[in-house]
Amino acid sequence: MSSEPIDPISEEQELDEQLSRTLVLLYRLSNEAIEGINGLMRSLRIRFAEAALKSGAVTQPQLEEALEWIQQRALIQSRGVIEEVLRRTARKREREVVLWEGEQLEPTREIILVHDPDHPRSETVRSLRTQLLLRCKGRGAGMIALLSPCSREGRSQLAAELAISFAQLGRRTLLIDADLRRPSLHRLFGANNDTGLAQALTSGGPHHFHGVQGLPEMALMTSGELPANPLELLSGGALERVMREWRRKFEFLILDTPPTTLFSDGLAVAAVAGNVLVLARAAVTKFGELTEICRHLGSTNSRILGGVINRF
């Protein structure tokens, strides 16, 4: 699996400049290291942060630490001291709220990131997480819908592993199964699927989140019992309403969706999430199917964060 950007983000240049300065200062990069990074930037036509990783001048945890430092500094600079204290107090209260009830779920062996953190796929997922942290800015920054053209392209597994990777950073993350056709996230976590997103959109009652073993910052909402009108449910205002509510509790919302060549549900979800990650499987997904997704996404006003070619 490799991350291959589809649509360049204009804000990236500004962020990369901030990140390059931060990396140099935080980790005291030598002139020799900086020259090597600049050489990689020119030869591979990549940004400073990616070149710094490839050169070995910084590690991925160091890059994520620098990103966190930039984000926290921006928040503090945009508020007064009193407001910042109030914000931290409110965040402390939020962290005392239980994200889920009942027994915690154990991810199945298919979730490689949990069971084999040193596997090449696990490292690639963490690298993709870093890229998303770089790109997730602006409207609905923490809401990401995963779309792919066909079935069996690894969309649900990647959604699960991305959610886990964010939670492993201590970011409150909700994984949502918005595939109301052929859901599979409940199977990947061994969850009961009687109640979930479909019921949250129709009943308006209490929402049932599942906890995940070893990940106190993560919760899972399964699809629930499948409705007769999934597209109508996802296209109405109910999805936007509940996601707005969940954003008060979670920093990241990761949504799995049905294949776009069969159903339009993913486009409805993308319109609400605002950010999209497009997935394809190497040597299987057709180029025309990918371009068709991008063409349809143009009408949703959502932003394509990048593309992923699944090679596993």
Residues 163 and 86 in one domain: no
Residue 175 scores a pLDDT above 80: yes
**Residues facing 2 on adjacent strands:** 309
**Residue 178 falls inside a structural domain:** yes
Predicted confidence (pLDDT) per residue in 9-20, tens digit: 445 666 777 788
Residues 61 and 178 in one domain: no
Domain boundary among 58, 91, 124: 91
Q: For residue 238, what pLDDT is reported?
A: 92
Residues 138 and 267 in one domain: yes
**Residue 126 falls inside a structural domain:** yes
Domain boundary among 91, 112, 135: 91
Q: For residue 54, what pLDDT is reported?
A: 87
Domain of 13 in residue numbering reads as 8-91
Between 188 and 204, the higher pLDDT residue:
188
Q: Name residues whose C-beta falls within 8 Å of residue 243's C-beta, 6 or more positions apart in sequence.
A: 143, 253, 272, 273
Residues 84 and 107 in one domain: no
Average pLDDT score over residue span 83-93: 43
DSSP states of 52-79 as a string? HHHHTSS-HHHHHHHHHHHHHHHHHHTS
Residues 86 and 114 in one domain: no
Question: What count of other Cβ atoms lies within 10 Å of the Cβ of residue 285?
Answer: 20
Residues 204 and 236 in one domain: yes
Residue 145 scores a pLDDT above 50: yes
Residues 120 and 227 in one domain: yes
Cα angle 5, 117, 110; round to 5 = 80
Q: If phi over 0 gives left and psi between -120 and 50 gives alpha, with beta otherwise, what is residue 102?
A: left
Average pLDDT score over residue span 29-50: 85
Domain boundary among 50, 66, 91: 91
Residues 156 and 246 in one domain: yes
Predicted confidence (pLDDT) per residue in 213-222, tens digit: 999 999 999 9
Q: Which two tokens stand for residue 91?
A: 């965040």
CATH of the domain at 140: 3.40.50.300
Predicted confidence (pLDDT) per residue in 283-302, tens digit: 888 888 888 998 889 888 89
Q: Whose CA is closest to 159, among 130, 128, 191?
A: 128
Q: For residue 197, what pLDDT is reported?
A: 95
Q: Whose CA is closest to 169, among 136, 217, 128?
A: 217
SS3 227: coil
Residues 275 and 134 in one domain: yes
Residues 121 and 55 in one domain: no
Residues 77 and 103 in one domain: no
- Kindly indicate the confidence band of residue 73, based on its pLDDT and cuts at 50, 70 and 90: low
Cα 284 to chain centroid distance, Å, stands at: 24
Predicted confidence (pLDDT) per residue in 119-137, tens digit: 999 999 998 998 888 777 6
Q: Name residues whose C-beta falls within 8 Å of residue 95's C-beta, 6 or more positions apart in sequence.
A: none
- Kindly indicate the confidence band of residue 49, based on its pLDDT and cuts at 50, 70 and 90: confident
Predicted confidence (pLDDT) per residue in 246-279, tens digit: 988 899 999 999 999 999 999 999 999 999 999 9
Q: How far apart are CA 115 and CA 106, in angstroms?
A: 10
Residues 64 and 182 in one domain: no
